[in-house]
Structure 1
Amino acid sequence: MYATVVGGVIDDVCGDLGFETALHFTGGCSRKLTTVPLDTTDADFVQFNFRFSCNTNPGNPVNRDTGVMIDYSRNGGITWNALFELYNDGNNEESRFVNIMLPRESRGVGVQIRWWQPSFTASGADDWAIDNLFIGGKREEKMLSDAFTIHNYNVRPAGLYLDRDDKDMWQFYDNTYPSNFCGRMNVIRAGDNTGLPVSVGTKD
């Protein structure tokens, strides 16, 4: 799903952005996340949970130019066009939900989406995290969805189930899976993976 991940690791340092772990960018050289080329012809939006400066104490001053840019490319990354900017406003105590409507110019075959931080003060400083990334629209037009979970092949997957008949209603359903319970068919059972949070979220 990703062409490049630079300066980021999956961890739980930033707390629960959506599903316990998130993709956390703290690298000292570059910080960048780029998708593989996608067919966004019928896509409507980019959605994700986001948090700034998990490693920074609340109230510490931040620089206006340490924000994160979201761009798109239609030519394999040769040129990039600005889509959105996330300002580092110093509010690092909670995550935020970001919904970016895709303009017509960003829709087509071979489109890549990029998150990158042009400048930061030092390794580990001005960090940021992203989780529950979703690019798409209607059910049959899903392009990309990722909860950035750490895979443990000894337990049942606790992330998204994308093949359920009701998936057009739900955006995320973490630590849940289709099952039968107490004689009832086709119910959603939750919480089987001990220690992992349970959440269900609707689409907009």
Structure 2
Amino acid sequence: MKTLFFSCFALVVLSCEAKEKGKSVSKEKEIAVMGNQKNETATFAGGCFWCTEALFLELKGVEKVVSGYTGGAVTNPTYAQVCEGTTGHAEAIEIKFNPDLISYEDLLEVFFATHDPTTLNRQGADVGTQYRSEIFYHSEAQKKAAENFIQLLNDQNIYGKKVVTKISSAKVFYEAEDYHQNYYNRNKNQGYCMAVISPKLDKLRKNYKSKLK
């Protein structure tokens, strides 16, 4: 299944590469473009935000990743409230990325490759609506890209069952408490980090070398 999985994603990668052909830019021009480029925003929920944050921080073109809460109705929720599973919020990350260096489709590829989008309100031992798989789009282009990606995964039967990832319009994003930010890199020897996050990072670094910083 793993071979099929990455073969499927190759279709998306090839289309992106085709668009990039002929763009031979000098280093000076590249720096100028980067300086004038306004970063775009992507918002994903895919289980514990400690995991997703650590993964996306590794990617070239990702300028910033913030852990937080979104999708619910409670204003300024706390971690304790979200953990109760009654706020409607999901643990999520807000990504600021440079589309000249990494595309939204690339982010979707990594998102789907690094969590299980077929388990409803659950990622491993983390259970509850706060751990659901959901994409919060910021434009119609992002919405269409997410819909196409999920359709591709289902058509190719990549996981052996249907993807349950929700696609929703981006809502207010509440930044999580300071101690949650960059959690893995500040707590690598913590039990959860060693048992859950480190293996995911190892796979990311093995399978996506060309996309890493």
Q: TM-score range by the shorter chain?
A: under 0.3
- Taking CA–CA contacts closer than 8 Å with sequence separation of 6 or more, which of the two structures ends up with the larger relative contact order? 2
So what's the TM-score if we normalise by structure 2? 0.26
* Higher fraction of strand: 1
* Higher fraction of helix: 2
